[in-house]
Amino acid sequence: MREAEATSECKAVDMTVARYAVDARLGPEHARWLRGAFAGAVDRVEVHQHGVDGLVYRHPLVRFDVSTGRPVVAGLAEGALVLRSVRPLAEIRLGPGVHVVTGFQRTDERPRIGPTSVAARYGFRSPYLALNQDNHEAWNRGSVADRRRLLERVVVGNLLSLSKAVGLHVGARLRAEVDLEPDGRHVLKPGVELLGFRGTFRVNFRIPDLWGLGKSSSRGFGTVARLEGA
């Protein structure tokens, strides 16, 4: 996105991305184990999202992604500062297996996040879990147009939650257009499944690559990538 497209509401936010290479290609089921491996090594609320009063309900500031087949840990704002203080792991326990780390690369940057004057197009690299129990019922009852409008409202809501988490006040009206299709149900934990979506969306908001939106985005769901030429 051209710098001129950013509005004055955009905010430069610390972002750190730690990319690991391990001795196996990872699948979607490894993302929650990756989060567990780091939570066991780094006792910070930004990593495990548990405070003294229980689960912290806010957009996550550290997320764990395997959409490239490799472990990727990304942090925003305070989450980025936490990752910068963590020494690279020599091995990572993912479920029943321990994987030797064969490579590591960390990048530190300050991307601008927030409203833009021109909409950009993004795609989901991993299933987007947009719906909770309440709006899933609305989805089931709705027409094709109703469902599209519902998903557009959810995308905007997710971006406002992200903005709040990084201390950005959004006064501009956000407008999303979605081209999303159901992608089956995905197990979060025994007895809990959510409908996932794949596809693209356009929105007048700048989102960092490799960040995520939606339910369980800290565990690899809803990974966003800016589409070339969009």
| pLDDT (tens digit per residue) in 134-148 | 888 899 999 999 999
Residues 100 and 131 in one domain: no
What is the predicted pLDDT for the residue at 210?
A: 87
pLDDT for residue 110: 96
* C-alpha–C-alpha distance, residues 85 and 165, integer Å: 20
State the Cα–Cα distance between residues 226 and 219, nearest whole angstrom. 20
What is the structure's pLDDT at 2?
A: 44
Report the pLDDT value the prediction gives residue 44, as an integer from 0 to 100: 67
Is 180 found in the same domain as 126? yes
Domain boundary, last residue among 47, 81, 109: 109
Residues 98 and 117 in one domain: no
Query: Which residues span the domain enclosing 165?
Result: 113-226
Whether 118 and 215 map to the same domain: the answer is yes
Output the pLDDT for position 39: 78
Q: Residue 8: how many CB atoms within 10 A of its CB?
A: 9
pLDDT at 32: 82
Q: Are residues 23 and 38 in the same domain?
A: yes
Which pLDDT does position 80 carry in this prediction?
94
Question: Which of these three, 90, 109, 128, is where a domain ends?
Answer: 109
List Cα–Cα distances, 123 to 9, 197, 226, in angstroms: 24, 11, 7
Q: Are residues 130 and 206 in the same domain?
A: yes
**Residue 3, domain member (yes or no):** no
Domain count, the chain: 2
> If 0-12 CB within 10 Å is exposed, 13-18 middle and 19+ buried, where does residue 19 land?
middle
User: Is 4's pLDDT higher than 60?
Assistant: no
Residue 89, helix vs strand vs coil: coil
**pLDDT tens sequence across 21-70:** 998 888 888 888 888 888 777 766 666 555 445 555 678 999 999 988 99
Same domain, 76 and 145: no
Continuous segment of H or E residues that includes residue 134: helix 133-141
* Mean pLDDT, rounded, of the chain: 88
pLDDT in tens, 98-122: 999 999 999 999 999 999 999 999 9
Bigger pLDDT: 16 or 51? 16
- Alpha-carbon distance 115 to 70, whole Å? 31
pLDDT of residue 197 exceeding 50, the answer is yes
pLDDT digits (tens, 9 = 90+) for 31-43: 888 888 887 777 6
pLDDT given at position 58: 74
pLDDT level of residue 228 (50, 70, 90 thresholds): confident
- Global pTM reads 0.88
Is 171 within the bounds of a domain?
yes
- The rounded Cα 115 to chain-centroid distance in angstroms is 18
- Residue 51, classified by CB atoms within 10 Å of its CB into exposed (0-12), middle (13-18) or buried (19+), is exposed
- Report the CATH number that the domain containing residue 76 is assigned in CATH: 3.30.70
Residue 7 — very low, low, confident or very high, per pLDDT cuts 50/70/90?
low
Q: Residue 170, Cα to own-chain centre: how many angstroms?
A: 19
| Measured CA angle at 192 (ends 20, 38), to 5 deg | 25
